[in-house]
């Protein structure tokens, strides 16, 4: 995935220390790029990170006739004026690369009256069905037909506003509703919406384009469809998941990292947990400094949840730091049923972590009484030692990196290309922070 050799040999035990800069959030930027299809004029998006998920969406937009150009680092100009005449011949080449294609449905149905969505990719951390997406699109009036390599859709009678109640506040399904409802005829009411900061920033973008969207209390969003949207000019929200990852790296390696661009507001929940673990942070106007306290870390009991809860994507890097805390920590993963695959490698490196099918440490979740190892018990402190490990997914991969960086001895971490799905220039950042490693190949 664009990284020579896809393998890093890491000599661990050196604290990561220094300053790195964040760009826009992977989980906003990719959706903002899709939103550009809805505009009648070009859009400009700033703070776009150089990550492979952005490249995948850029390829998909290209196939659909959206001209994406960049004359300045981190700035994309997205011109949708040729969407109607695009040929879409290469659409299958993008199958399986990311989860974003499903969000092309609403915008393409509005512009073309039809859409073909290839099979989805993204991290394999659970089944990740798209039933809510398809149901929502049907409610708007789309005809959905499953085909061997994807889904074909049409809207013979156009798309009409509707009342939607999501069974679970899914981020993607909420975005599906937003991107479809803004140009649908009439009013859409969405209950049970996800309200992650990245969704709020997508709403900012859609409002800039001319949409009318009201966010009420209790997860209710109302959208009044409009006839025409313009392009937008927007600077993307910072990547709070990357910020949390580097914060965890500072703790795990006993280091001190200034994360430029990180902001307090979107990270309140993370910062509370960080403080309880014993991590130190100083909030500045231009970023947040995260550092190890120099004393023992504390165990915590956390439950991942939808916003404003503890984000599931923060869990994997933090677990590495928890292997260094004195006592028993519990992480109950309630968003994805299979997000603890990465702990096998940590156990091989000397961590004491057990995974359980029961809902531990919190309330019963959707995955209780089923066959999913979705609670982890971490006993510490343990010293990690080097090992040969293989990255399983994006956040699991970052956690493997920081485990190897904090371990005694040498580790070989393979399949690190996956990490560039969501971490811009992570090799350069590791160099800036003084990591001791050799990139193979
Ligand atoms: C590109 C992107 O933004 N990815 C983020 C997005 O993923 P994504 O949008 O895929 O995650 P969702 O919020 O939709 O998924 C949450 C839960 O809902 C379930 N579900 C979802 C849709 C559906 O049709 N049916 C269904 O059952 C999923 O299996 C999962 O158990 O939100 C997740 C939760 O914050 C984050 O971990 C991901 O980093
Ligand atoms: C699960 C993640 O991403 P995606 O939905 O793109 O697979 C993630 O960012 O941790």
* H-run or E-run covering 290: strand 287-291
* Annotated binding residue 99: yes
The Cα angle at residue 372 between residues 368 and 374, in degrees rounded to 5: 75
* Annotated binding residue 157: no
* 123 noted as active-site residue: yes
* H-run or E-run covering 250: helix 240-252
Structure ipTM: 0.99
The residue whose CA is least distant from atom 8 of ligand 1 is 172
Q: What is the pLDDT of residue 88?
A: 63
Distance CA 296, CA 60 (A): 48
Asked whether residue 4 carries a pLDDT value surpassing 60, the answer given is no
pLDDT digits (tens, 9 = 90+) for 392-434: 999 999 999 999 999 999 999 999 999 999 999 999 999 999 9
Q: Name the catalytic one among 105, 123, 359, 365.
A: 123
In this structure, are residues 181 and 161 in contact, taking their beta carbons and an 8 Å threshold?
yes
Q: How buried is 134 (Cβ within 10 angstroms: 0-12 exposed, 13-18 middle, 19+ buried)?
A: buried
pLDDT digits (tens, 9 = 90+) for 262-273: 999 999 999 999
Helical H runs in 141-188? 171-181
pLDDT band at residue 362 under the 50/70/90 scheme = confident
pLDDT band at residue 1 under the 50/70/90 scheme = very low
Pairing outcome for strands 150-154 and 43-46: unpaired
* Annotated binding residue 183: no
Residue 100 CA: which ligand 1 atom is closest? 1
Which DSSP category does 101 fall into? Answer: G
Nearest 5°: phi and psi at 205? Answer: -65, -45
What CATH superfamily is the domain 4-22+239-439?
A: Enolpyruvate transferase domain (3.65.10.10)
Which DSSP category does 294 fall into? Answer: S
Ligand 2 centroid–CA 53 distance in Å is 10
In this structure, are residues 306 and 269 in contact, taking their beta carbons and an 8 Å threshold?
no
In this structure, are residues 97 and 421 in contact, taking their beta carbons and an 8 Å threshold?
no
- The verdict on the CB of residue 132 being under 6 Å from ligand 1 is yes
Q: Best of 313, 317, 333 to mutate for ligand 2, by most ligand atoms within 8 A of CB? A: 313
Which residue spans of the chain are classified as CATH 3.65.10.10?
4-22+239-439, 26-235
Nearest 5°: phi and psi at 336? Answer: -120, 140
Q: Best of 123, 124, 170, 341 to mutate for ligand 2, by most ligand atoms within 8 A of CB? A: 123
Q: What is the arithmetic mean of pLDDT over 135-163? A: 94
* Annotated binding residue 160: no
Instruction: Starting from the CA of residue 201, give the closest ligand.
Output: 1
Ligand 1 centroid–CA 336 distance in Å is 8
Which DSSP category does 333 fall into? Answer: -
Question: pTM (2 decimals)?
Answer: 0.97
Q: Best of 52, 98, 132, 168 to mutate for ligand 1, by most ligand atoms within 8 A of CB? A: 168
What CATH superfamily is the domain 26-235?
A: Enolpyruvate transferase domain (3.65.10.10)
- The verdict on the CB of residue 308 being under 6 Å from ligand 1 is no
Asked whether residue 91 carries a pLDDT value surpassing 90, the answer given is no
* Annotated binding residue 256: no
> What HEC string does 300-330 produce?
CEEEECCCCCECHHHHHHHHHHHCCECEEEE
Instruction: Starting from the CA of residue 393, give the closest ligand.
Output: 2
Residue 53 CA: which ligand 2 atom is closest? 6
Tokens of 368: 């209780």
pLDDT band at residue 440 under the 50/70/90 scheme = confident
Residue 26 CA: which ligand 1 atom is closest? 1
Nearest to residue 109, comparing CAs of 207, 183, 161? 183
Residue 241 CA: which ligand 2 atom is closest? 9
């Amino acid at each position: 995935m664009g990284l020579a050799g896809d393998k890093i040999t890491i000599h661990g035990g050196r604290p990561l220390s220094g300053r790195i800069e964040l760009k826009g959030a992977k989980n906003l930027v990719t959706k903002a790029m899709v939103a550009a299809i809805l505009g009648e004029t070009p859009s400009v998006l700033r703070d776009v990170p150089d990550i492979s998920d952005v490249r995948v969406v850029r390829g998909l937009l290209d196939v659909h006739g959206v001209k994406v150009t960049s004359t300045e680092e981190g700035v994309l100009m997205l011109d949708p004026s040729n969407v109607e005449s695009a040929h879409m011949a290469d659409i299958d080449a993008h199958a399986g690369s990311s989860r974003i294609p499903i969000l092309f449905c609403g915008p393409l149905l509005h512009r073309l009256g039809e859409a073909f969505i290839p099979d989805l990719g993204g991290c394999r951390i659970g089944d990740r069905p798209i039933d809510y997406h398809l149901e929502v699109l049907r409610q708007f009036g789309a005809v959905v037909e499953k085909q061997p390599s994807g889904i074909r859709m049409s809207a013979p009678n156009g798309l009409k506003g509707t009342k939607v109640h999501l069974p679970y506040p899914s981020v993607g399904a909420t975005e599906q509703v937003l991107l479809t409802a803004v140009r649908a005829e009439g009013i859409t009411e969405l209950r049970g919406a996800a309200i992650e900061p990245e969704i709020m920033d997508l709403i900012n973008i859609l409002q800039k384009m001319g949409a009318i969207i009201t966010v009420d209390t209790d997860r209710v969003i109302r959208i009044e469809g409009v006839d025409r949207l313009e392009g937008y000019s927007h600077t993307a929200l910072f990547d709070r998941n990357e910020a949390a990852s580097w914060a965890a790296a500072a703790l795990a390696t006993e280091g001190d990292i200034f994360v430029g661009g990180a902001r307090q507001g979107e990270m309140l929940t993370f910062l509370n947990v960080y403080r309880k673990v014993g991590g130190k942070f100083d909030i500045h106007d231009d970023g947040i400094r995260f550092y190890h306290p120099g004393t023992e870390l504390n165990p915590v009991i956390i439950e991942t949840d939808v916003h404003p809860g503890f984000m599931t994507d923060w869990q994997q890097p933090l677990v590495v730091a928890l292997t260094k805390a004195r006592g028993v920590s519990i992480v109950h993963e309630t968003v994805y049923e299979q997000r603890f695959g990465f702990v096998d490698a940590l156990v091989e490196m000397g961590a004491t972590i057990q995974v359980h099918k029961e809902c531990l440490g919190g309330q019963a979740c959707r995955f209780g009484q089923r066959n999913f190892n979705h609670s982890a018990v971490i006993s510490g402190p343990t010293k990690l030692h080097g090992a040969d490990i293989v990255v399983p997914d994006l956040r699991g991969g970052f956690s493997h990196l920081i485990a190897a960086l904090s371990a005694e001895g040498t580790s070989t971490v393979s399949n690190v290309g996956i990490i560039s799905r969501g971490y811009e220039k992570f090799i350069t950042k590791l160099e800036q922070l003084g990591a001791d490693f050799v990139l193979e190949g």
